[in-house]
Each structure stands twice: as C-alpha cells, then as structure tokens.
Amino acid sequence: MERFRAGHAGGALWRDAADSCLRQLGELPADANLGFVYITDEWSEEFGPIVDYLKARTGIEQWVGTLGAGVCGSGQEYHLTPALSVLVAAFPPEAVRLLPTQREDLSDLRAELGSWYRGQESVRGIVHGDPRNAEVPDLIGQLGAELPDGFLVGGLTSTRRRAYPQAAGTVTEGGLSGVLLGGEAPVVTGLTQGCTPIGPRREITSCDGNALIELDGRPALDAFYEDIGELLARDLNKAAGYIFAGFPQGGADSGDYLVRNLVGVNEAKKVVGVGEEVSEGQEIMFCRRDGNTAREDLIRMVREVRERAGGEARGALYFSCVGRGASLFGEDSNELRLVRQELGDVPLAGFFCNGEIHDSRLYGYTGVLALFP
C-alpha cells in the first residue's frame, strides 16, 4: 500500500470539505502516523475543530499544519475561498518527533527532545512560524544549527484574520512548531526564486539601519537608478511591487539570495530604504519580479529535486509565497499545474506563506518543494 495519501477540497462547510478529503485519502496504511493539514484563513475559527475531526476520523494523533491565505494540492490552488489540503504519511515511528512550540529560545526543545535528536545522524524539520513573533527568524537559524546536519523547510502562517493557529499535535500559536524527521525518513528539497537580478552585486559602503546611503562608494539612489533603468527611474510608482532588493547568500553563487521589499526613497538625500536591517560590507543586488523567469526556474527546480530523489517521489509538500500563485503565474492554478507537470500526480499538500523557510533561512517570493522519496 502507498505510504502517502493526499486530499484537498473547498466548499461552504468545513465538514463537507474534510469528508471529501477523507474520501480521497481512501484506506490508510495501517501504520499511518503523521498528517499535514493546511487550511485557508476563512476557516480560522474552525481550525481546532477541523484538526480534531481529522484525528477522530483517521485515528492519527500527530497532525501538523497552519493557516494560509491560500492552500494547494496536486495541480490545484485555492485562493480567497474556504478550503483545506491534507497529506497523510506512514513513517518509521522512531524517525518522527513533533516539534513543540519554541517562542523565545530552544530550552524546551533540548529538555524534551535532546536525547532523541542527538542520536540521529541527520534531522530534517517541516516547520511553521508565527510572523507576529520577532524571534522566529532567529529561532529558525538556531534550530537548524542545533540539529545534527539540520535542515528546515516550511513557511510562516499567512492570514487576514486575527488568529494565527498552528497544529503540532495540539493547536498552538505564537512561535515555531512542526515535526522533526530523522534519517530513516529522508526528505529532498529545493528552492525556486520569484525574482531575477537586474544589476551587478554592489557593496553597501554606508548605511543606517535599513537605509542604504552609499553603494560602491556612490550615493545609493544613483546606483539604484542605474540598475533599474531610465524608464522606471523616471516613475518610481511603476517600480513598486516590481523591483526588490536581493541579498546574496553563501559564496559566489547569485542563485541563492534573500529578497526584501523596497520601502521608499529619499531623493534629496539620495537614500534607498529596504525591508531589512543592513550593515556595511554587505552585498546587495536589485531584482525584478518576472513571471517568465519564475516559471523557468520553477521547472528547473522541480526537475532537479526529482532527479535527486531518484526520479520519483511518494509524497510532497509545497510552500509558496502569497506574492506568487495567481499574481505571478496567472489564474487557473498555473503554479501548481507546473509542479504536477514536472513531478507527476504525487500526493501533495501545502500552503501560500507569509515567508518561506529553506535551509534554515527565511525567504520571500520563493517556492519551496520537499519530496519524500
């Protein structure tokens, strides 16, 4: 019997959608022991009852997941509509440990799971973070460094409501939670960018907080205008939501970079504001959102991950930015259709995030794929 089963559905009533998902799951493996559930924020108040219902109907106690402004299944996206997506898995019991909510530091983790993860050669985490907690970005990096050969993927809760629930066995909120998988439950991952660099890497030679004062020894705004071109420089309104700041990561390869928003310019002082604290000596490059190149990079990433997974996968999770999906790839679930086109109709669940997690870093405007070979 297949070790992974998935279902996704929308509708006016959450119980009807949950029942539809359960029918799609069919007969579960006798040793199924972990479920992932992603629910659109229209059902934020029903999050707990939905998780409890899935527990009761499947007999699986360990569920992890969160809210999204959208959710996805194999070849299907749900935006601005009530829906849920689930993936059920059967892993070796000793390879699975729920991650209790970490809010300020990792002391609870060390106390509860230290003896388990220190006995593993490698640990992969599927995690969900609360964007209201300013400690979450640091917790992501700390957790990845704490775990043996640690590697985290996942995303931040995205919602237009007041509630930010997560599931990690019980319903929780306020920090970083999810599931840790030991070496007997391998995971193969990949990252795709939604932006393309449009200028050279530049060195930040003067700054203040999130304000770029000088790049390569020149006024930051002059360098910015040079990189984005005369047309956009004449009308910065056209650059809004199209041009971003990129911060290269990890050596000389510009393929891995963190994308942050531009927050404004001061033409009198020739200063550019970005959505990130910066420091002198740091590298930066300006990027544009481009649907065509995002499509090409998504296809490249899925093919590469599938090849590293041995040519096929039994199950998958996909985490995409709320700024991607319909707004970048167009309507009719085009982003997830591309994933299915390259991956095949693999059982898949996921959601549209307020920040994506890959390699224990927090990204934006990206798509993250996790395959279970």
Give the Cα separation of 319 and 41 in Å (integer). Answer: 16
What is the pLDDT, as a whole number, of residue 305? 97
Q: What percent of the chain has pLDDT over 90?
A: 86
Number of neighbouring beta carbons within 10 Å of residue 78: 28
The rounded distance, in Å, linking the Cα atoms of 316 and 304 is 14
Length of the chain in residues, anyone?
373
Q: Which of 86, 85, 119, 96 is nearest to 31 (CA)?
A: 96
- Measured CA to CA, the distance from residue 58 to residue 19 in angstroms comes to 11
Sign of CA dihedral 87, 295, 40, 17: negative
Asked if 358 contacts 183 with a C-beta cutoff of 8 angstroms, the reply is no
For residue 191, the one-letter residue type is L
- Which string of DSSP letters, residue by residue, matches 187-240? -EEEEEESEEE-S--EEEEEEETTEEEEETTEEHHHHHHHHH-HHHHH-GGGTT
pLDDT digits (tens, 9 = 90+) for 141-168: 999 999 999 999 999 999 999 999 999 9
pLDDT in tens, 46-84: 999 999 999 999 999 999 999 999 999 999 999 999 999
pTM of the entire predicted model: 0.91
Q: Is the pLDDT assigned to residue 1 strictly greater than 80?
A: no
Half-sphere CA count of 267, side-chain side, radius 13 A:
5
Q: Which amino acid does the sequence have at 53?
A: Y
Using the predicted structure, report yes or no on whether residue 342 has a pLDDT greater than 90.
yes
| pLDDT level of residue 45 (50, 70, 90 thresholds) | very high
pLDDT in tens, 202-221: 999 999 999 999 999 999 99
pLDDT of residue 179: 98
